[in-house]
Chain A
Amino acid sequence: MTDTKHTDDVTGVDTTGHQWDDIRELNNPLPKWWVYSFYACIVWSVAYWIVMPAWPIFMNGAWTYTGGVIGYDQRVVVENDIAEVAAGRQVYMDQISAQDLPTIQQNVELMEVALAGGRAAFGDNCAPCHGSGAQGSTGYPNLNDDDWIWGGSLEDIHVTLKHGIRWEADDDTRFNEMPRYLTDEILTADQVSDVTDYVLTLSGTAETTEASARGSEIFARECTACHMDGGIGNRELGAPNLADAIWLYGGDRASVYESIANARAGQMPAWGDRLDPVTVKQLALYVHALGGGE
């Protein structure tokens, strides 16, 4: 950038004297009103600094800012806004709190509120394990389907949410414990293998073989108490249905073997301790409405 005065050939207008790669700027007149608007903007900004929070300053050993003479604070504005929204919402929250779940389900307007609230709470609290679409993953049940270990009625879902699963801090938690057949030496490795073969026949994944026939006898002795005849499961006890197409820990032979040998014991927190009752209710309604509710 060099400073050489220059007059443009085409327009006959002087340039500003600045040039960048041979590009010059014409020094055309600015309208006065434009100049005054510019000054007015400067005055405005100075006034703004005085009236509104503006500059960071270092004071008494810490960074703070000039607060402005009218004491405007966006934090307060946001807090008021939130309080206003909460007050508006409170009407519905009171209704959800007072009514029982099936009654809420009949109320279209209330359901809309509950489902929206449930979706938000699910995203905040449940999605880390169950996934943002409640699709689950190995060890974390898919809540969209119609397979429920502890029951899929509104009430069952609500109880599960409130008290959790194997959550020892909660006395009413859903609890069961499957024996670790191989680890605790209840069965031998061969026996576990036989039972595995039998279990796989229940859902039609494998053919009946000699091994599975042997396994069936062991199954009748060891497993039917909880998983029932035919492995259809028992929701009272939280024993999964082994005859359907859904496997929480995987339906391949190795996974089923591992489940029998070592047992599985997933946990879910008791949300009744952590969330307010209205949120838990909204969650129950939301999960029930995902498509598998009974």
Chain B
Amino acid sequence: MTSDASTAGPETAGAGLTSLIGEAEKLANPHGHEGETATAVNSEKNRSLYASRIKIYPKLVHGRYRLVKWVVMAITLGVYYVTPWIRWDRGPFAPDQAVLLDFPHRRFYFFWIEIWPQEVYYLTGLLILASVLLFLVTSLAGRVWCGYTCPQTVWTDLFIYIERLIEGDRSARIRLDKSSFSINKLVRKTSKHAVWLIVAIATGGAWVFYFDDAPTLAANLLTFSADPVAYLFIAIFTATTYVFGGLAREQVCTYMCPWPRIQGAMFDDESFLVTYKYDRGDPRGPHKKNTSWDGRGDCIDCGQCVAACPMGIDIRDGMQLECIQCALCIDACDDIMAKVGRPRGLIEYDTPANMDRRLAGEKERFHIFRPRTVIYMGVLVLVSAIMFFSLATRGAIDLNVLRDRNPLFVQLSDGSIRNGYTVKIINKVHEEQAFSIRIDGLPSAQLIQQGVSAGDSVKTAIPPDSLKDIKTFVILPREALGSLDGGEASLRFIVENISTGETVYNETSFRGPR
């Protein structure tokens, strides 16, 4: 792909820029490699009020970061499309889909983990983990999320890849857009949009499989007998994928996403950011082959970094809000540096502090452990530990005892005091289980179940995978009222799974007159 420009010559006609830049092009050319007339359309001096978007034609680059991005794209897309099809046996009363967000039955399944509605704090924990991880990574190496793994970036990259397959690389695309109507143009444009649409439908289609049994839903979708809501969501996600990945692209990152605004608070002078090392690159300017590099910078002003940038900025202007840190400009420049015989890394992951150190003639140093990264790591470890501990120790019974508050207590005709409790037991086992309930803490108190004659032990059977409310009363005889301290005593409800012996308890209190 890199050879097209050298045969086609400078792309002055394609980009339609001032002849000044065209001159620069010719000067940059003596090395025999391509020059680019790319404009940093979103750089500060090139934008106006109420600006229309100027289309960006990112050029394909080759290099280690591009390779990493291809691999990450393959993995993330693979995970996204394959996950709903993974099966996981949970027995006859539960779905066998490994990852399933089952809203109608109010369950989230994630391999061996099963989340009930009252356990959404696991999701909260997960979100806290995700955000702290994001903070940590951002303070270490900038917008790694944006540049490599954000769905917006991955899908845009995929859409650009398709565009490139059908319309050619940057220069060919510019030429095609400039050309007048032809069958060739029509065919290429239509097929591009058609393929985009197919990808968009596949994306929206895969989304709904996370919410229902994938094989069943797929069959229903194909026979047009699925729930209309499924089609609606497919339509919505198809539309957003198509619009965001194909049409809006960098505008999503620049105007719609809040993350670029937050990043400023995450970076500091020791963060690794994609940086143009102006201390090495400037003064920049075209360079003739076999002339000296003395007294000038390494940047030959070839514009390749700008041509490669999917965000339409010039990394040589310094850190900018638009930059998603995709590192493609690094690959573009490394290529050039190799060709002109200078060391690679004119654009490289670098820290602002090191730039200052080099300028001051000091040695480069890397501060990975800084107060903020240490705090983020600490929080990360802590939250993960809490999550793992609570996941590992969570049992198959959940118990919650709610004491009646209205009235607080009831005096019976023999002077004894009665409190009412609603015992909520969740049986998380996928089979019916029998439970016994008893109390501890008030020796002379008696536990009875509503509608069951007193004296019988309180037992209940709970269907698989469900919650049951059991209304109970605890009666403290008049003689034992002395055991209340200030009208209150603590009381513990103990629930035992009769067959497995698993017990759980819940602390509550017993109230009486002061």
Contacts and interface: CB of A to CB of B under 8 A. Distances in A.
A145 interface: yes
A144 B414 contact: no
Interface residues of A, number: 29
Contact of A245 (B53, B255, B414): B414
A126 to B, nearest CB: 14
Interface string B240-252: 0000000010010
Nearest to B52: A32
Contacts of B47: 29
Contact of B50 (A35, A105, A144): A35
Contacts of B473: 291
Interface stretch (A130-138, A173-181, A189-197, A263-271): A130-138
Interface stretch (B311-319, B374-382, B405-413): B405-413
A116 B410 CA distance: 21
Best-buried of A12, A135, A291 by chain B (most CB within 10 Å): A291
Interface string B439-455: 00000000000110000
Nearest to B418: A291
Interface in B214-265: 248, 251, 255
Nearest to B248: A33
Given A29-B50, A31-B251, A146 B412 contact: yes
Contacts of A245: 411-415, 478
Contacts of A28: 49
B240 to A, nearest CB: 14
A63 interface: no
Contact of B407 (A33, A105, A133, A147): A133
Nearest to B255: A31
Interface in A112-168: 131-135, 142, 144-147
**Chain B contact residues, majority secondary structure:** loop
Contacts of A291: 410, 418, 420, 450, 473
B19 interface: no
Interface in A1-49: 11-12, 27-35
Contacts of A144: 407, 410, 418, 420
A275 B37 CA distance: 85
Interface in B427-475: 450-451, 471, 473
Contact of A145 (B406, B413, B471, B478): B413
B317 to A, nearest CB: 13
Best-buried of B47, B49, B51, B410 by chain A (most CB within 10 Å): B410
B407 A142 contact: yes
A27 B450 CA distance: 70
Contacts of B255: 31, 34
A32 B50 contact: yes
Contact of A29 (B51, B420, B450): B51
Q: Nearest 4 CB-CB pairs, A to B? A: A133-B406, A135-B407, A244-B413, A245-B415
11 contacts: A28-B49, A32-B52, A33-B248, A105-B451, A142-B410, A145-B412, A146-B412, A147-B413, A241-B413, A244-B414, A245-B411
Interface of A: 11-12, 27-35, 105, 131-135, 142, 144-147, 241, 244-246, 289, 291-292
Interface of B: 44, 47-53, 248, 251, 255, 404-407, 410-415, 418, 420, 450-451, 471, 473, 478
